[in-house]
Amino acid sequence: MEYSTLQSVRYSYQPKLPKMLRGGIKGIAVTEGDATTASGDEEKIRELFPKLYGQKELYFGAKGKKPRAKKHVVGVILSGGQAPGGHNVIAGLYDALKEGDEDNILLGFKGGPSGLLEDNYITLTADTIAKYRNTGGFDMIGSGRTKLETEEQFMIVGEVAKKHGMTAIVIIGGDDSNTNAAMLAEYFAEHEIGCQVIGCPKTIDGDLRNDDIEASFGFDTATKTYSELIGNIMRDANSAKKYWHFIKLMGRSASHIALECALQTHPNICLISEEVERDGTDLATIADTIADSVVKRATQGFNFGIVIVPEGLIEFVPEVRQLISEINETLAKNGDRFARLPSWDERLGFLTASLSVESMRVFNMLPLDIQEQLLMDRDPHGNVQVSRIETEKLLSKIVAGRLQELKQEGKYNGKFSPMHHFFGYEGRAAFPSNFDADYCYSLGYTAFLLIQCGCTGYMSSVKNLSKSPDEWTAGGMPLTKMMDIERRGGKDKPVIKKALVDLNGKPFKEFARRRAKWAAETCYHYPGAIQYFGPAELCDATTITLRLEAEE
């Protein structure tokens, strides 16, 4: 017997396009805006991107120049970690492509950038797309983290493009993937490959944001998914009244996810990495902040609470960041020798001789399991894998020690029983919210409009997102406009900078205004599950962050 499921019902959902794009491909025109410059180090970016630099902003609508239709063979890849809505970017791209000309072809390269390098692809058809519309995950064609950044790689991709007669490649990814898209576009233009490159902004972390990209796709769904889980834990905590829950949330560098989830759920404590870094806050002070909330709540008989911890927090604590930097440097030079040391005592002795006195002091104050996590296998760049450090457990142990001191001083007489959680993968492949389903479909549709206009080195851009889709606007922004130079591995490299939480922005200020009350009282808010059917104000609502930013 067949049972109806959310998956089967969602296949038939028709995403909402911006009103300006609903007249059909043939009725859409393009207008040019201003010529652009880089976000930083303009001369260096101009030097690195002589073919792309200075391109104009583009806007789509009913008035302007009508693009010339021609036959297209387009390749598409999903790059980096999963984000809800990726399938809808491909669906929007496919539908626009076929609307432009039924003979147009879309090739899905499997496993991310490596699919382009290995010429591993499938031809996407209406039947293929139908199985994945409005669903989460990247399983239609898979993803990968191979970087396209060398001339040899660009040459291989160019040969693959020529082999298939590809007129364009769409790269759906985050800041690094879109930086690589710009580099690939520049190479193609310089060598007259005849293949355009268009990017789409993806990452649940919310750190691919600027004046032209109001939100990266997947952030809306992921934060709503995590907020539901946090709300469930809050309800349980307020029922059992005996546990302090330390919840670490995904977000490698920025704290956007933690901040949005705090605004949605009202935890007792939410740490913001960017604030910790700005204020130079050490671990002891962070522990005191949490312990103060525990004590205040215990005096009211509330021996329970919720602490939200951003995944990347540990690297923003100055003393720990210095420790990690010294460990990275030590192991980069002597990793093989260190790995051969047979005992923990010998490894500890090696570190003692290599680290500064201050870093060794910090290392010694950490629990043994955290010390071991700092010395685990490195990431491909030789750095500590921060996501594997159980920061939530580290904080609860330091807080427990502080509370024991307060108890001995007669300043605390409560009970502290910590529980630990890490929410990350639960949100990366969730069914996209209506917002993400609509937004992603619009990004894919707009990507084809950019292709049809002959653009390369552009990112698909849909703006005015705090309003209903009727009021959204669509266009394209040059990737070089978003770029700056960073020193990486001893070399100057072009990058699209990660956008961290703005401590002067309205979302953070709203959180800061209310957190003292949340720390002492039980003000929990229970968002519940993402709603897909019902009134628009409930089902199509954007994040609190986006709404507050629109008020600025």
**Which amino acid does the sequence have at 549?**
E
Residue with tokens 């996209």, as numbered in its chain: 432
Pick the closest to residue 315 from 283, 340, 288 (CA basis).
283
| CA–CA distances in Å: residue 178 to residues 87, 181, 185, 380, 458 | 18, 5, 10, 19, 9
Pick the closest to residue 329 from 356, 358, 362, 363 (CA basis).
356
Which tokens belong to 167? 């007129």
Q: Is-contact 96 128, C-beta < 8 A?
A: no
Rounded Cα distance, 268 and 311, in Å: 18
Rounded Cα distance, 463 and 468, in Å: 11
SS3 state at 370 = helix
**Which amino acid does the sequence have at 231?**
G
Q: Is-contact 401 408, C-beta < 8 A?
A: no
Rounded Cα distance, 258 and 251, in Å: 8
Q: Is-contact 543 219, C-beta < 8 A?
A: yes
Query: 429 forms bridges with which residues in the sheet?
Result: none
Query: 137 forms bridges with which residues in the sheet?
Result: none
Work out the number of other CB atoms within 10 angstroms of the CB of residue 464.
Answer: 15
Between CA 152 and CA 156, with CA 155 as vertex, the angle to 5 degrees is 90
Which tokens belong to 465? 């997102």
Length of the chain: 552
Q: Is the dihedral of CA 503, 505, 506, 507 positive or negative?
A: negative
**Which amino acid does the sequence have at 543?**
T
Give me the active site residues, please: 205
Work out the number of other CB atoms within 10 angstroms of the CB of residue 382.
Answer: 12
Q: Is-contact 360 351, C-beta < 8 A?
A: yes
DSSP letters, 241-282, are ---EEEEEE--SS--HHHHHHHHHH--SEE--HHHHHHHT--
Three-state helix/strand/coil letters over 89-143: HHHHHHHHHHHHCCCCEEEEECCCHHHHHHCCEEECCHHHHHCCCCCCCCCCCCE
> b or e along 148-170 (b: 16 or more beta carbons within 10 Å of the residue's beta carbon)?
beeeebbebbbebbeebebbbbb
Q: Is the dihedral of CA 542, 545, 551, 552 positive or negative?
A: negative
Q: Phi then psi for 455, rounded to 5 degrees?
A: -80, 150
